[in-house]
Amino acid sequence: MKTLLRYLRPYTRRMSLGLTIKVAGTMVELVLPYILTHILQNVVAKERLDHILLWGGVMILCAVAALVCNIVANRMAARVSRAFSQSVRRDLFARTLRLSAAQTDRFTIPSLESRITTDTYHVHNFVGMMQRMGVRAPILLIGGVIITLLMDPRLALAMIALLPFIFVTVYFISKKGVPLYTRVQKSVDRMVRIVREDAQGIRVIKALSKNDYEHRRYDQANRALVESEKKAGITMGAVNPIMTMLMNGGIVLVVALAAVLVADRRSHPETVIAFMQYFTLISMAMMSVSRIFVMYTKCAASAGRIAEVLEAPLDLGVASEEVSPPIETAEHIVFRDVSFSYVGRKNDLSNISFSLPHGGSLGIIGATGSGKSTLIKLLLRFYDVTKGAIYIDGKDLRSIKKDELYAMFGTAMQQDFLYADTVEENIRFGRPLSHEAIATAARIAQAEEFITAFPTGYEHQLSSKGTNISGGQRQRLLIARALAADPAILVLDDSSSALDYKTDAALRRALAAERPHTTTITVAQRVSSVKGCDLILVLEEGEIIGAGRHEELLATCQTYKEISDSQMGGAFLE
């Protein structure tokens, strides 16, 4: 909760004003039963209509004042809680984007999604409730107790005797609520993960007739969530019935004692009437307090999950050149004895060493799971190497500022995304690029022909994820996006898998002719996509088993030769 409190500091003045108005309205509300007692005891007995109308008017004015104050204060509270939650969501989303790949893996994407949505919603509700009820309820409770003590101490003490039992009940039940609601949110994370996976893979699910299987998988997660919610709901739901029972018992006790006191002429019926009104206010205040505690348990669980992300330490920081010294080299990219493990047990890459000159081309090929994409993730510094070092222009990757590092790259991944906007905006991707630069990138990426075939050309509207164009067209747009800013290093991570051989060959010829200064790294399954590279790496189980040009590897690397031979017949079409 401490992390989130700093988000309320900018609204301290506005909250103070709202709370002052709320206090004023609540104090006026407390006066109403006292005025009623005065009317019944003193005004009615005089049988003066003008006095009755006067004091009745005072009651109406007090009621209207309380109403207006509460409405104004509640509206101010709503604005504060709305602005507060907006700030939290903004920073939480920004922090989510800045998490390293390892941190994202640890939190998981579904969990981050539910923290930005469900958890911030719980915190928003609690902040709003605290401004509305968190002030009103204690004033009604304490003020009501003080006034009833002044009116009739004996009746008041009978009621006050119940309060410790109520507070103890609320405290112990609420203490159990935080871990219970934390488990509920984890169950929500699991269900969001399944929904997300099924939404993304809906075509595969339908194609393989796995609807029933996915229904069962979802139902299992849904039942687990229901069980978590039921346990938390039953536990926290016990607060209201127990409080109601105690308060009703208190009312019975007070009524019985009042009857005895009135019968013995030690109290007045008017006092008892006012006392019962105050008792009702106190009961409502106690119910509000119980609701606040229930909301607090949800908020505390959600606030802890939000704080985990906001307070996550900065990973992959920029090291000084003393810690990660540069090297003397004319090469553009150098991998020096690089090893890496995702979980710290078995190496996913081992002893990777190679160098690539400016404007050179590197091809990486190998079986699925051989470490091709992992090597690219290390080059882009999504993860830090476990051993060894990677250098760009002689500088250790770990000593280069992130903005400077990522500005060097243009990257197209096989699973990159397109969003619901025009073709031009999808290629521009929020960067200050001219239409000419976008058109040039589209031409090199072999996308110009199909873009200009659209009736609206570059203004053609794409659907979310680009589902209204073909897979090959999507990949060409992604390659155009990577090329648009004329990067120093172009990374194509299996981004031409949906292209036909002719288009793939035309793309490689265009890259060589129009971007000779760009260092190109191509990850592919097809030999035809890498055969023209200056250096080809053949990976197997995270190790380099072959390195050289196409002709050299045919002679020296059996695995590469087998891959090449298996793809003969279309792989070498130019």
What residue numbers bound the domain in which 20 lies? Answer: 2-310
Average of pLDDT values for 397-416? 87
> What tokens appear for 507 in the block?
């793309």
Measure the CA dihedral 104/108/114/115, to 10°: -40
In the predicted model, is pLDDT for residue 340 greater than 90? yes
Pair 178, 301 in one domain: yes
Reported confidence tier of residue 330, pLDDT bands at 50, 70, 90 = very high
> What tokens appear for 390 in the block?
């990677």
CATH value at residue 174: 1.20.1560.10
CATH value at residue 447: 3.40.50.300
Ranked by mean pLDDT, the top range of 211-215, 341-345, 457-461 is 457-461
> What tokens appear for 245 in the block?
């029972």
Q: Is residue 157 part of a domain?
A: yes
In the predicted model, is pLDDT for residue 569 greater than 60? no
Average of pLDDT values for 37-43? 74
Average of pLDDT values for 113-122? 87
Q: Is residue 356 part of a domain?
A: no
Q: Is residue 303 part of a domain?
A: yes
Average of pLDDT values for 68-74? 89
Reported confidence tier of residue 573, pLDDT bands at 50, 70, 90 = very low
Which amino acid is it at 46?
A: K
Pair 49, 182 in one domain: yes
Measure the CA dihedral 24/28/29/33, to 10°: 160
Q: What is the pLDDT of residues 144-186, one digit of tens each?
A: 778 777 777 777 777 777 777 777 777 777 677 767 877 887 8
Domain end (from 471, 486, 501)? 486
Pair 21, 165 in one domain: yes
The per-residue pLDDT for 200 is 67
Domain end (from 458, 486, 514)? 486
Pair 288, 434 in one domain: no
Pair 94, 234 in one domain: yes
Number of domains in the chain: 2
Q: Is residue 182 part of a domain?
A: yes
Domain end (from 292, 310, 328)? 310
Q: Is residue 329 part of a domain?
A: no
> What tokens appear for 360 in the block?
């050179």
Chain mean pLDDT for the chain: 84
In the predicted model, is pLDDT for residue 480 greater than 90? yes
Strands ordered across the beta sheet of 333-340 = 349-356, 333-340, 387-392, 395-396
In the predicted model, is pLDDT for residue 572 greater than 50? no
Which amino acid is it at 422?
A: T
- The answer to whether 412 touches 493, Cβ cutoff 8 Å, is yes
Q: Is residue 542 part of a domain?
A: no
| Of 441-450, 463-472, 552-561, minimum mean pLDDT range | 463-472
If 0-12 CB within 10 Å is exposed, 13-18 middle and 19+ buried, where does residue 256 land? Answer: exposed
Average of pLDDT values for 113-129? 88
- The answer to whether 365 touches 522, Cβ cutoff 8 Å, is no
Pair 28, 155 in one domain: yes
Average of pLDDT values for 213-232? 84
